[in-house]
Structure 1
Amino acid sequence: MSSKYYFTEVDKNAQSVYCYHNLMGETYIEPHTHEKDQFIYTEGGVVYVKTDSCTYYLPARHYMWIPAGVKHSIYPSSTEVIMRNLYFPIGTNTGSFYKREGIYPANNLVMELLLFTKKWKGDIIKSQEQQYAIVNALKVLLAQTVPQSLPLELPQPSDGRLINIIEYLTNNINKEHFLPELASSFRMTDKSLYRLFKKDLGMSFIRYYTQLRVFKSLEYLMNPDYTISEIAHMVGYNSLPTFSTTFSKIMGKRPSEYRKSNEIYLEP
């Protein structure tokens, strides 16, 4: 089947649940929308999901819910990433969970149901009673097992100056940056740069920069060749304890715990 299945096949049957697993090898999936809600689960790396307003960082062993009609593009961190997709018809009695984008950890119940679906491809229709019951149970389970989405997104800048500054921060993530020096480099005062972050992104410089560093480290943590101390330096931290504490506050677990929990579970 063509790698462009998400343009041609997903919405052909409006009533089906469409399955597509083992999507590997693509480094960029261009912006598109669906008439169905999308469940995307990943292993083996980080997947960047970009919408008009945010860039989401979907780490291994997590899933993202993308409501129908939300324009998005997808950037796997490497060709080794495994993505598993289920596309659901829009329900008539769905709760607020299904109406908003969000990233959630995949618990054991979700993982077990995914095991049933991992070799399925294409449309699952109601007449396929056993298969349809499993994917429908998975959808119902999602809203009942997670209290709220994880804060794993960063807003997209609209101001041209901030676009350039964030590109610079991203490209020089291995160095530690401070607001006054950064502002001076871009011929701004620190107060004006602080206000620009708050106005355009709705968050402070330090919050944005801290999350950017931690989210980038998620990708590095998938590579066993790097020690956690090396990764701390790769995202601009001179202190391993500071990096570990900051990572824990955002991700809910220490880098070493995160690394251990992200081995491949659903093999192709």
Structure 2
Amino acid sequence: MPTIKEPSFLEKVNQYPKTTYIYHTKIEEQLAMHSHNKHQLTYIEGGAAYLKTNDNSYFLPARHYIWIPAGMEHFIELKSSITMIRNIYIPTHILNSNDFYSKMGIFPASNLVLEMILFTENWSGNIFKKEKNKFQYIKTLGNIIAEISKNPLPVVLPTTTNQRLSPILKYIHIHVDQLLLLQDVAKQFGFSSRSLSRIFRDNLDISFLQYVKLTRIIHSMEKLLQTEMSISEIAYASGYNSPATFSNTFYNLVKVRPVDFRKKNREISE
């Protein structure tokens, strides 16, 4: 008698196009770049992660959730041990018409959204329309999110498959705590300053300096959430020569001060 092969995780998500699908796990499926036919809502407890798409890398801090539109290729990379990954997959046809659903974003989780996500913690697998209460609950969650999620996290790092640029980006991440000048990095990799500047613009659509600044801020966000380092220590470890410069740059990008970012995310994730 032939062995019946167990459907893969992605096959289960896509198996019934009209169902919602719930998947809570302490271990993230080690998936390569992939997509599925349903929208994805993901909330990660107790750790740091990145969402990788073909074009960008998105840092996911505590107390934030990811919205991934149906059909978008992506994978989630965990940067530390986590407590729980909560995934809710929602078929596109059950939601109200809203431009929100077509765009990827990372948003702060309000008390309402967080409580609604946690309410599903004992649900698992497909939820069919005949399970009226559960099905309507997920539909309502999807519609509420579109109405209240207005300000996505603005810190996004572009990515590239350009073989000349990839090792330079890696170098920037490794040496983020050091002085990174265009002319020095260009010389290190055998480019002129003008050539390297053009490669950044052509492949990432941002300047060398903008990329370094974003890398420093994301590095600092990880330190704020995962260490007990002081704000001054994090500033220097992220390549800034003064805590004031770091705080001002952080505020300009994230719209809160580093100390408030740490306090807010830690208070409501404990």
With structure 2 as the length reference, what TM-score do the two structures score?
Answer: 0.89
* Counterpart residue type for residue 125 of structure 2: G
* Counterpart residue type for residue 156 of structure 1: T
CA contact (8 A) 2:63 2:269 kept: no
Residue of structure 2 in register with 1:60 after alignment: 62
Query: For the residues of structure 2 that align with 1:109 and 1:190, how far apart are their CA atoms?
Result: 50
Alignment partner of 1:105 is 2:70: no
Alignment partner of 1:163 is 2:163: no
Residue of structure 2 in register with 1:185 after alignment: 188
CA contact (8 A) 2:46 2:269 kept: no
SS at match of 2:40: strand
Bigger mean CA deviation after superposition, 7-16 or 240-249: 7-16
1:75 corresponds, among 66, 72, 77, to 77
Query: For the residues of structure 2 that align with 1:227 and 1:6, how far apart are their CA atoms?
Result: 41
Alpha carbons of structure 1 residues 223 and 158: separation in structure 2 relative to 1, 3 Å: closer
* Counterpart residue type for residue 150 of structure 1: L
- The percent identity for this pair of structures is 37
CA contact (8 A) 1:29 1:75 kept: no
With structure 1 as the length reference, what TM-score do the two structures score?
Answer: 0.89
Alpha carbons of structure 1 residues 171 and 81: separation in structure 2 relative to 1, 3 Å: farther
Residue of structure 2 in register with 1:89 after alignment: 91
Residue of structure 2 in register with 1:118 after alignment: 121
Shift of 1:37: 0.9
Shift of 1:148: 4.5
SS at match of 1:48: strand
Shift of 1:66: 0.9
SS at match of 1:18: strand
Q: How large is the Cα RMSD of the aligned pairs?
A: 2.2
Query: For the residues of structure 1 that align with 2:103 and 2:168, how far apart are their CA atoms?
Result: 29
1:216 corresponds, among 207, 219, 224, to 219
CA contact (8 A) 1:52 1:156 kept: yes
Shift of 1:11: 1.7
Query: For the residues of structure 1 that align with 2:222 and 2:179, how far apart are their CA atoms?
Result: 18
**Deviations, residues 34-68 of structure 1 (Å, cap 9, x unaligned):** 11111111232321111111111121111111111
Residue of structure 1 in register with 2:240 after alignment: 237
Shift of 1:246: 1.1
Query: For the residues of structure 2 that align with 1:32 and 1:214, how far apart are their CA atoms?
Result: 28
Residue of structure 1 in register with 2:4 after alignment: none
Residue of structure 2 in register with 1:36 after alignment: 38
Query: For the residues of structure 2 that align with 1:27 and 1:91, how far apart are their CA atoms?
Result: 26
SS at match of 1:40: strand
Shift of 1:27: 8.8
Say which one has the larger Rg. Answer: 2
CA contact (8 A) 1:180 1:190 kept: yes
CA contact (8 A) 1:44 1:264 kept: no
Aligned residues: 263
Alpha carbons of structure 1 residues 175 and 41: separation in structure 2 relative to 1, 3 Å: same
Shift of 1:177: 0.6
Query: For the residues of structure 2 that align with 1:129 and 1:250, how far apart are their CA atoms?
Result: 43
Query: For the residues of structure 2 that align with 1:87 and 1:154, how far apart are their CA atoms?
Result: 25
Query: For the residues of structure 1 that align with 2:264 and 2:30, how far apart are their CA atoms?
Result: 26
SS at match of 1:198: helix
Query: For the residues of structure 1 that align with 2:210 and 2:244, how far apart are their CA atoms?
Result: 18
Query: For the residues of structure 2 that align with 1:25 and 1:122, how far apart are their CA atoms?
Result: 16
Query: For the residues of structure 2 that align with 1:245 and 1:29, how far apart are their CA atoms?
Result: 38
* Counterpart residue type for residue 169 of structure 1: I
Query: For the residues of structure 2 that align with 1:215 and 1:81, how far apart are their CA atoms?
Result: 21
